[in-house]
Amino acid sequence: MPTTTSTTPLTFYDIATRPPAQENSCSPNPTKTRLALNFKSLPYNTTWVPLPDVSAVRQSLHLPACRQFADGSDFYTLPILHDPNTNTLVGDSFDIAIHLQNTYPSSGHGDLFPPQPLNYTFPQDPPPIVPLSATRDTSANPALLEPYARFNVHVDAAFTAHTPLTVQGFPFDPATEETVKAEFVRRAQLAGAPVQNWADFKCEGEYRKSLLESFEKTLGGLAEAFARDGGPFVLGERVSYADFIVGGWLRMFRVMLPLEEWEMVSGWHGGVFGRLYAALEVFAEVK
Ligand SMILES: N[C@@H](CCC(=O)N[C@@H](CS)C(=O)NCC(=O)O)C(=O)O
């Protein structure tokens, strides 16, 4: 049984998508945080931030950027967590999970980081597309936390390589849709991509087919981690932050892929990812 705490509610900053958030919120790194907060059964409120306001909100909290764009300029991101019980602000999903574990070690379902090897490796050198923040503090227990940190980088790389499949399914908040589309085009241009407008992100025909094949193959390597103890989680029946790392990305693909493709993904490799997604539902409540 999860234990409950009498803490003051925390504030969790997530990216606003098309309402209702319960159906459409799907940013992978904030989702990792939501799963961890729900696992810990902590009281919290969500502050939904429109995507064009993320920079201003993060800067108003005096949190440095933990990513950079292709031209080296700062890329301000969410999630952010404010914990009034410790007077702490944390601005990276992995750092947040460590904060929750250190501050509330036995809350909710207990240990987010049980010892496990987590050997999955993305086949190419993972490019630092979605880096961990430089401030992550694994020093409390490097032997325990480094495998999770490494798994986070490799899983991020595996899914990020296949995000062109999702772009056209982005659940835009109608209030900011045009601004956000223009911003995504600007970022792609900074990275040297030959795009002039939103329609140029289309991923269709042979390109889509080959990317789906690559995605299936890539997920095959990751599926092995879940096969070892029979699933649905990496540690069999015991959920851990490793499952939330993958779950954050599965949520994005579930929301953004056409339904028939999501059903394909859920069924690949003996249904490992469909079973994981279903087993994580209990931690996925959007509040
Ligand atoms: N290393 C950071 C990366 C955070 C990140 O990349 N967040 C994305 C959403 S998944 C974001 O805030 N994007 C804002 C934008 O695209 O403007 C973490 O794990 O928290």
| CATH classification (class only), 10-126+142-283 | alpha beta
5: pLDDT confidence band, cut at 50, 70 and 90? low
The pLDDT, as a whole number, for residue 131 is 67
% of the chain at pLDDT higher than 90: 83
228 phi/psi in degrees, rounded to 5 = -50, -50
Q: Give residue 285's pLDDT.
A: 97
Query: Which of 45-49, 227-231, 253-257 has the least mean pLDDT?
Result: 227-231
Phi, psi of 202 (to 5 degrees): -60, 145
Judge contact between 283 and 239, C-beta under 8 A: yes
Percentages (nearest 5) of helix, strand, coil residues in the chain: 50, 10, 40
Q: Which amino acid residue places its CA nearest to atom 3 of ligand 1? A: 130
pLDDT average, residue stretch 268-273: 97
- State in Å: Cα 249 to ligand 1 middle: 12
Q: Is 275 helix (H, G, I), strand (E, B) or coil?
A: helix
Residue identifier of the C-alpha nearest atom 14 of ligand 1 = 77
Q: What is the mean pLDDT of the chain?
A: 93
Please state whether beta strands 80-83 and 10-15 pair in parallel, antiparallel, or not at all (unpaired).
antiparallel
Residue of 13, 31, 78, 244 with the most ligand 1 atoms within 8 Å of its CB, for mutation? 78
CA 228–ligand 1 middle distance (angstroms): 31
* 1 DSSP assignment: -
Residue 3 pLDDT > 60:
no
Q: What is the pLDDT of residue 11?
A: 98
Contacts of 220 (CB under 8 A, 6+ apart): 268, 269
Atom of ligand 1 nearest to the CA of 184: 16
Per-residue pLDDT tens digits for 102-154? 999 999 999 999 999 898 888 876 555 566 666 666 777 888 898 999 999 99
pLDDT, residue 135, reads 64
Query: Which of 26, 130, 181, 250 has most ligand 1 atoms within 8 Å of CB, for mutation?
Result: 130
Q: Which residues line ligand 1 (CB under 6 A)?
A: 15, 27-29, 51, 54, 66-67, 77-79, 92-94, 130-133
Whole-angstrom Cα Rg for the chain: 18
Q: Measured in whole angstroms, how far is the alpha carbon of residue 28 from the centre of its chain?
A: 2
Nearest CA to ligand 1 atom 17: 51
Span 39-47, average pLDDT: 97
pLDDT score for 122? 87
Residue 251 confidence (pLDDT): 98
How many angstroms separate the CA atoms of 277 and 272, rounded? 9
Q: Which two tokens stand for residue 103?
A: 């501050």
